[in-house]
Amino acid sequence: MKVHLKIKRFNPEKDKKPYWGEYDIEADEGDRVLDALQTVKWTIDGTLNFRRSCAHGICGSDAVRINGRNVLACKLLIRDAVKNGQITVEPILGLPLIKDLIVDMEPFFAHYRAVMPYLINDTDPGERERLQSPEERARYDDTTKCILCACCTTSCPSFWARGEYVGPAAIVQAHRFIFDSRDEGAAQRLQVLAEPDGVWRCRTIFNCTEVCPRDIQVTKAIGEVKRALITGKLD
Amino acid sequence: MAQYHQFDALVIGAGGSGLMSALYASKSVNTAVISKLYPTRSHTGAAQGGISAALGNMEPDKWEWHAYDTIKGGDFLCDQDAVDILCKEAIHAVIDLEHMGLPFDRTPDGKISQRRFGGHTNNETKKPVMRACHAADRTGHMILQTLYQQCIKNNVRFFDEFQMVDMITVDGACRGIVAVELNTGELHVFHAKAVMLATGGFGKVWKITSNAHSLTGDGPAIILRKSLPLEDMEFYQFHPTGIYKMGILLSEAARGEGAVFINDKGERFMERYAPTMKDLASRDVCSRSIYKEVRAGNGIGGKDYVYLDFRPDRINKYLEADGSSRRVDAEYIETRLPDIIEFVRVYMGIDPITEPVPIQPTAHYAMGGIPTDLDARVLADEKGTVVEGLYAAGEAACVSVHGANRLGTNSLVDLIVYGRRGGIHMAEYAKQVDFKLIGDDAHKAAEDTLNAIRNNAGSEHPGQIRKELQMHMDEHVGVFRTQEKLEEALEEIHRLKERYRHIHIDDKGRRWNTDLMEAWELGCLLDLAEVTAVSALAREESRGGHYREDFPNRDDQNFLKHTMVWSDNRITYKPVRIGRYQPTERKY
Ligand SMILES: Cc1cc2nc3c(=O)[nH]c(=O)nc-3n(C[C@H](O)[C@H](O)[C@H](O)COP(=O)(O)OP(=O)(O)OC[C@H]3O[C@@H](n4cnc5c(N)ncnc54)[C@H](O)[C@@H]3O)c2cc1C
Ligand code: FES
């Protein structure tokens, strides 16, 4: 089928501000939008830039805004993206623009690092694995799925309003450890999240949950962290 | 001018192998990791099914059985001392990962849960054994996340989105690398005492592949350009279950849970090809069987694909036929294989719980690569001469634990076991030696190469060349090979290499010039395709993943040896290190 792509373009070495590039391509309706971007790059204009790697929704490289909604370009098929023969692709919002669809991810990863995203447990585990029951394991399963694509954080109005807000992705990462029975760092992490730029900036708008390409219940996870802060209990 | 940095140990690549070696090297020396992708974007994150270790958590198991299965799976081309290390250290390595926080699935009594996987058996009963440790079907994702988390905890220094384009060698020793900072386009010289190449695979040589766009074999290609050899390049694994036309992988874990192959007549055809292991026979056997069915006209609708059937009622039917008392239901399948069920729903628009899934073999894994010794040190020739200061691990390397065909779950083991050994050795080595001088113009060759591509005004388009290369490789250097096909492929590759000299790119800028980097990567793909075809042509036998229709049998008399290939297409061989197991006929 014929597809008209409108892609937000910006070259920091040439352009004062972003503009729309328009391209007509031939695509299969079962192709990914990422394939369409590749077609533009490989056959029409090699200067188009975007991040990509796995091409099947696993690596988190290609979070973009398609028709106004945050998605992974490799996880949305042309047939589901085309509106009146057209697809609009823009960079995600709230992070500094670098070039075309590429934004600076460093502020996002700085928030990630701030919640101490690693197991904290200094006791000697011994020769064999630490034990964890299937129920304890299930408690934090949902938040282990996060691929750090930033779809959630960059769809959040609270984050757009204030970049210092740690954002949903970092809270998801904190949740993954806070509710892991093997972890002993909950208190330290909760302290970070109790700060003014921690969980309380979340206004339960649910954008994050709606856009998560891994179907993580982001708002629920944030709610559980808020509850842990209020009650002082992890259940 | 190029910016200059100095580190004791430098790791190129932030997949499982790179992060594991960085973690261990950084315990005692100043270490940095350079990666063209953000670490968590590495393709290790795509690994689904599991990581094997004879923990014996579910049923009796021994590391010696794991070793024998690996050697048999590799069609006796594995170096058996390397396999023993792999399987023995796997146990400790998996427990190490658990201690780092990896969320493995658990047994009712809280231990790491394990599942069946192709080619892994109880050596006494010959039946499949539960050896693959897993975290749903995102084991690789959890390994990558966990190792990255630990690197953050240990303050490992990262240079993210820096792409290595050259290696600095003086008097045959490695003294660092040159990388492009993608965000600025600037060159950086990294001066080091020890360098680890952990750049992953090169599946993008083929069109239908499970590999990421980024898997262009940069590390192995740079090795060739430094007049060093690659080992066993003819052994490339085609995984039997790629999503039709897209190549996206559906893990063997699906068959581990009971899914089966079905042809157009509705037959479970693997019963004919592998009476004991059936659908869990090794990957090369399954991929060939699929194409034999297709050739016999048994592909679905006469086409070039078959079905993978996950429907619970069918799985139960076959479990019953196999005399198993186990039964599954839709909920069980959904919890054990959530990601791959979703891939089918998203990319094929069908529901695997109610419909069979069209699949075809997909280019998946490089058994060959940069030759190394048991401490991951890179070897310069067939005699085992070590390249000072240079290491390699992971899919880019060939220690050879996978031989002619890798067993499922053994790559992740390889990353962790040999990544760790390499990391430890690098640190020890770095502590013993001083920095050796490098020239002020260390970046010059890389600068010239990139400028030549940037300023080339030829009429050829890199995208077109890549497309043609991939097409020819699928057609001529795939599951079935012949002298004629391979010679045709080589001629074609030579023509493409000539055309590559006359390319032009659109983007002449500095910052984030992926047009330039992709064109550079295409050069790597062409070099790797060439030595793959050359090695395949020279091996006149069939073994594991390398199948020659004109030489359909394994020939231990003449070919029980590893191929070493150089960029000038020269080939030498080195013997396989046999241990406890003499080669026997491989039957599943
Ligand atoms: C879909 C899929 C499923 C799989 N499932 C399993 C499984 O269940 N079990 C199993 O054992 N194996 C599995 N495998 C195989 C296994 O995942 C890979 O072989 C393994 O993860 C490779 O790891 P690595 O560390 O060698 O490289 P990768 O994880 O591929 O990492 C390569 C790294 O090198 C970097 N890099 C590359 N070139 C450059 C350069 N020029 N400069 C700087 N950095 C560079 C990249 O940025 C990246 O960080 C699977 C593979 C695929 C594709
Ligand atoms: S390219 Fe990996 S998530 Fe889209």
> In this predicted model, what pLDDT tens digit does every residue of B317-355 receive, in sequence order?
999 998 889 999 999 999 989 889 999 999 999 999 999
pLDDT tens-digit readout, B231-288: 999 999 999 999 999 999 998 889 988 999 999 999 999 999 999 889 988 899 999 9
Q: For residue B302, what pLDDT is reported?
A: 93
Q: Residue B313 phi/psi, 5° resolution?
A: -65, -35
Please indicate whether, in this complex, the C-beta atoms of A177 and B101 are within 8 angstroms of each other: yes
Ligand 1 contacts (CB < 6 A) are: B 12-18, 34-37, 42-44, 46-51, 139-140, 163-164, 198-201, 210-211, 214, 218, 249, 251, 365, 394-396, 408-412, 415
Q: Quote the CA–CA distance of A157 and B95 in Å, as a whole number.
A: 42
Please indicate whether, in this complex, the C-beta atoms of A118 and B135 are within 8 angstroms of each other: no
Q: Which residue of A has its CA nearest to B145?
A: A147
Q: Is A55 in the pocket of ligand 2 (CB under 6 A)?
A: yes
Q: For residue A232, what pLDDT is reported?
A: 87
pLDDT tens-digit readout, B534-544: 999 999 999 99
Please indicate whether, in this complex, the C-beta atoms of A129 and B43 are within 8 angstroms of each other: no
| Nearest CA-CA partner of B421 in B73, B24, B38 | B24
Q: Quote the CA–CA distance of B62 and A67 in Å, as a whole number.
A: 55
Chain A, 135 to 164: residues with Cβ < 8 Å from chain B are 136-137, 140-141, 144-145, 147-148
**Chain B residues with CB-CB distance to A183 below 8 A:** 101
* DSSP letter string, B30-60: -EEEEESS-GGGSGGGG--S-EE----SSS-
Chain A, 43 to 82: residues with Cβ < 8 Å from chain B are 43, 45-47, 49-61, 75, 77
pLDDT at A235 over 80: no
Closest Cα in chain A, distance from residue B151 (Å) = 9
Question: Which candidate from B37, B95, B349 shows the least CB-CB separation from A128?
Answer: B95
Q: Is A98 in the pocket of ligand 2 (CB under 6 A)?
A: no
Q: For residue B252, what pLDDT is reported?
A: 87
Average pLDDT over residues B506-534: 98
- Cβ pairs A/B, distance under 8 A: 152
At B555, list the tokens.
């020939």
Residue ranges in B100-189 assigned as alpha helix (H): 139-153
Q: Quote the CA–CA distance of B233 and B228 in Å, as a whole number.
A: 14
Ligand 2 centroid–CA B99 distance in Å is 29
pLDDT at B479 over 80: yes
Helix and strand element counts for chain A (H, E) = 9, 7
Tell me the ligand closest to B49's alpha carbon: 1
Please indicate whether, in this complex, the C-beta atoms of A46 and B135 are within 8 angstroms of each other: no
In a 10 Å sphere around its CB, with 0-12 CB exposed, 13-18 middle and 19+ buried, how is residue A188 labelled? middle
Q: Which residues of B60-99 are buried (b: 16+ CB within 10 A; e: fewer)?
A: ebebebbbbbbbbbbbbbbbbebbbbbbbbbbebbbbbbb
User: Under a CB-based contact definition with an 8 Å cutoff, are residues B581 and B76 in contact?
Assistant: yes
CATH code at B3-44+144-236+364-432: 3.50.50.60
**Chain A residues with CB-CB distance to B513 below 8 A:** 49
Ligand 2 centroid–CA B300 distance in Å is 30
CATH code at B444-554: 1.20.58.100
Please indicate whether, in this complex, the C-beta atoms of B101 and A47 are within 8 angstroms of each other: no
Please report which confidence band the pLDDT of residue A233 belongs to, taking 50, 70 and 90 as the band edges: confident
At B210, list the tokens.
């499970």
* DSSP letter string, B243-254: ETTT--B--THH
Q: What residues does B370 pair with on adjacent strands?
A: B397
pLDDT tens-digit readout, A11-50: 999 999 999 999 999 999 999 999 999 999 999 999 999 9
Ligand 2 centroid–CA A147 distance in Å is 10
Question: Which candidate from A53, A136, A144 shows the least CB-CB separation from B213?
Answer: A53
Q: Is A35 in the pocket of ligand 2 (CB under 6 A)?
A: no
pLDDT at A138 over 90: yes
Q: Quote the CA–CA distance of B186 and B213 in Å, as a whole number.
A: 23
At A155, list the tokens.
């769809």
**Chain B residues with CB-CB distance to A60 below 8 A:** 40-41
Average pLDDT over residues B197-226: 98
pLDDT at B466 over 90: yes
Terminal CA-CA length for chain B: 59
Please report the atom of ligand 1 found closest to the CA of residue B419.
25
Look up B131 and say whether it is catalytic: no
Question: Which residue type does A219 have?
Answer: T
User: Under a CB-based contact definition with an 8 Å cutoff, are residues A47 and A29 in contact?
Assistant: no
Query: How do beta strands B236-243 and B561-565 pair?
Result: unpaired
Q: For residue A28, what pLDDT is reported?
A: 94
From B246, B395, B399, the mutation candidate for ligand 1 (largest count of ligand atoms within 8 A of CB) is B395
User: Under a CB-based contact definition with an 8 Å cutoff, are residues B133 and B53 in contact?
Assistant: yes
pLDDT tens-digit readout, B86-104: 999 999 999 999 999 999 9
Q: For residue B396, what pLDDT is reported?
A: 98
How far are the Cα atoms of A89, B168, B230, B377 from residue B385, in angstroms, in the given order?
53, 19, 14, 10
Radius of gyration of chain B, Cα coordinates, nearest whole angstrom: 23
Q: In what order do the strands lie in the sheet with B561-565?
A: B230-231, B561-565, B571-575
Place of tokens 């996870």: A221
* DSSP letter string, B208-265: SBSS-TT---HHHHHHHHTT--EE-TT-EEEEEEEETTT--B--THHHHTT-EEE-TT
B349 in A contact zone (CB under 8 Å): yes
A213 in B contact zone (CB under 8 Å): no
Q: What residues does B52 pair with on adjacent strands?
A: B132
Ligand 1 centroid–CA B44 distance in Å is 4
* DSSP letter string, B380-414: -STT--EEEEEEE-GGGEE-SSSTTSPPTTHHHHH
Q: Quote the CA–CA distance of B496 and B490 in Å, as a whole number.
A: 10
Question: Which residue type does B517 have?
Answer: M
* HEC sequence for B286-313: HHHHHHHHHHCCCCHHHCCCEEEECCHH
From A35, A62, A64, the mutation candidate for ligand 2 (largest count of ligand atoms within 8 A of CB) is A62
Superfamily, domain A106-231: Alpha-helical ferredoxin (1.10.1060.10)
Please indicate whether, in this complex, the C-beta atoms of A56 and B99 are within 8 angstroms of each other: no
Helix (H) or strand (E) segment spanning residue B4: strand B3-12
pLDDT tens-digit readout, A173-225: 999 999 999 999 999 999 999 999 999 999 999 999 999 999 999 999 999 99
Question: Which residue type does A92 have?
Answer: I
**Chain A residues with CB-CB distance to B100 below 8 A:** 119
Q: Quote the CA–CA distance of A220 and A215 in Å, as a whole number.
A: 12
Q: For residue B339, what pLDDT is reported?
A: 87
Please indicate whether, in this complex, the C-beta atoms of B40 and A125 are within 8 angstroms of each other: no
B56 Cβ contact partners less than 8 Å away, ≥ 6 residues apart: B62
Length of chain A: 235
CATH code at A2-103: 3.10.20.30
Q: Quote the CA–CA distance of B472 and B526 in Å, as a whole number.
A: 12
At A188, list the tokens.
């330290």
Please report which confidence band the pLDDT of residue B480 belongs to, taking 50, 70 and 90 as the band edges: very high
Measured on CA atoms in the order A141, B97, B343, A7, is the torsion positive or negative? positive
Q: Report the mean per-residue pLDDT for chain A.
A: 97
Q: For residue A3, what pLDDT is reported?
A: 97
Average pLDDT over residues B481-497: 98
Q: Which residue of B has its CA nearest to A126?
A: B99
Question: Which residue type does B1 have?
Answer: M
Please indicate whether, in this complex, the C-beta atoms of A61 and B346 are within 8 angstroms of each other: no
Question: Which candidate from A127, A129, A147 shows the least CB-CB separation from B111?
Answer: A129
At A227, list the tokens.
């509850």
Closest Cα in chain B, distance from residue A58 (Å) = 6
Helix axes B410-432, B139-153, angle to 10 degrees: 20
Helix axes B410-432, B16-25, angle to 10 degrees: 30
From A53, A64, A77, A105, the mutation candidate for ligand 2 (largest count of ligand atoms within 8 A of CB) is A53
Please indicate whether, in this complex, the C-beta atoms of A118 and B101 are within 8 angstroms of each other: yes
Q: Quote the CA–CA distance of A135 and A68 in Å, as a whole number.
A: 39
Please report which confidence band the pLDDT of residue B585 belongs to, taking 50, 70 and 90 as the band edges: confident
The domain segmentation of chain A, as residue ranges, is 2-103, 106-231
| Nearest CA-CA partner of A130 in B511, B173, B103, B419 | B103
Terminal CA-CA length for chain A: 52
ipTM > 0.95 (yes/no): yes
Q: Quote the CA–CA distance of B23 and B5 in Å, as a whole number.
A: 20
Residue ranges in B15-138 assigned as alpha helix (H): 16-25, 63-73, 80-99
Helix (H/G/I), strand (E/B), else coil: B235: coil
Q: Report the mean per-residue pLDDT for chain B.
A: 96
Place of tokens 């995208």: B463
Length of chain B: 588
Catalytic residue among B116, B283, B454, B539: B283
Q: Is A61 in the pocket of ligand 2 (CB under 6 A)?
A: yes
Q: Which residue of B has its CA nearest to A99?
A: B512
Q: For residue B586, what pLDDT is reported?
A: 86
Closest Cα in chain A, distance from residue B514 (Å) = 6
Query: How do beta strands B31-35 and B3-12 pair?
Result: parallel
At A150, list the tokens.
């930033």
B107 in A contact zone (CB under 8 Å): yes
Average pLDDT over residues A95-113: 98
Q: For residue B392, what pLDDT is reported?
A: 98
Q: Considering chain B, what percentage of its residues have pLDDT values greater than 70? A: 100
| Nearest CA-CA partner of B24 in B391, B400, B401 | B391
CATH code at B242-363: 3.90.700.10
Residue ranges in A140-214 assigned as alpha helix (H): 157-161, 167-178, 186-193, 207-211
Q: Quote the CA–CA distance of A37 and A81 in Å, as a whole number.
A: 13
| Nearest CA-CA partner of B197 in B385, B14, B27 | B14
pLDDT at B117 over 90: no
Q: Is A38 in the pocket of ligand 2 (CB under 6 A)?
A: no
Q: Quote the CA–CA distance of B501 and B486 in Å, as a whole number.
A: 23
Q: Is the model's pTM score more than 0.90?
A: yes
pLDDT at B41 over 80: yes
Q: Quote the CA–CA distance of B145 and B418 in Å, as a whole number.
A: 19
Chain A, 83 to 122: residues with Cβ < 8 Å from chain B are 98-100, 102, 105, 109, 113, 116-119, 121
User: Under a CB-based contact definition with an 8 Å cutoff, are residues B410 and B70 in contact?
Assistant: yes
User: Under a CB-based contact definition with an 8 Å cutoff, are residues A81 and A33 in contact?
Assistant: yes
Q: For residue A234, what pLDDT is reported?
A: 84
B253 Cβ contact partners less than 8 Å away, ≥ 6 residues apart: B48, B49, B50, B115, B117, B132, B134, B137, B336, B337, B340
Please report the atom of ligand 2 found closest to the CA of residue B41.
2
The domain segmentation of chain B, as residue ranges, is 3-44+144-236+364-432, 48-134, 242-363, 444-554
Chain B, 464 to 493: residues with Cβ < 8 Å from chain A are 466-467
